[in-house]
Amino acid sequence: MSGAIKVGDTIPETVIGPFDAPSLARYAEVSGDANPLHLDDAVAAAIGFPAPPVHGMKLLAAFEPMLRAWRADLVISSLAGKFVQPILRGETVKLSGRVLRATEDEIFVRLMAYGAARAPGIIGEATLRPRTAT
């Protein structure tokens, strides 16, 4: 690894979005998740949202390039998240992370995604391992 990783290290914040209606429609098409909640303003409004929520898996997947940019010498062996609060179309999203456990063989990080609200939209975790030479 290039430099020791220790508990408490932070992953530089990454900003993504905002996502517009055409980008959510493209994601729905390629992912197979065409739930109208993510695509239709009227459906979102009927549930009480001022705009459709961004697909949770689209946001969760955004952690991968953030982690790769942080440490290209590591690979993700697991990635999971809890969708706590919707992040809505049109919001900028801030992704961040902090190392909770670090050994020579495994790094465990807590991941957070924040939209416009102060509460996190996603609380996630990832396990990373050193990249093996091929």
Is position 43 within any domain?
A: no
Per-residue pLDDT at 2: 59
Is position 3 within any domain?
A: no
**Number of C-beta neighbours around residue 5 at 10 A:** 20
Is position 44 within any domain?
A: no
Is position 86 within any domain?
A: yes
Total domains in the fold of the chain:
1
pLDDT in tens, 69-127: 999 999 999 999 999 999 999 999 999 999 999 999 999 999 999 998 878 999 999 99
The per-residue pLDDT of the chain, averaged, comes to 94
**For 21-35, what is the mean pLDDT?**
95
Per-residue pLDDT at 111: 98
Q: Which domain holds residue 69?
A: 10-19+53-130
**For 43-72, what is the mean pLDDT?**
96
**For 30-51, what is the mean pLDDT?**
95
Cis bond before residue 18 (omega within 30° of 0): yes
Predicted structure pTM score: 0.89
Is position 28 within any domain?
A: no
- β-pairing, 107-114 vs 122-130, is antiparallel
Is position 70 within any domain?
A: yes
Per-residue pLDDT at 133: 57
Residue 108 near residue 99 (C-beta atoms within 8 A): yes
Is position 104 within any domain?
A: yes
Is position 31 within any domain?
A: no
The CATH number of whichever domain residue 63 belongs to comes to 3.10.129.10
Cβ neighbours of residue 8 closer than 8 Å, sequence gap 6 or more = 98, 99
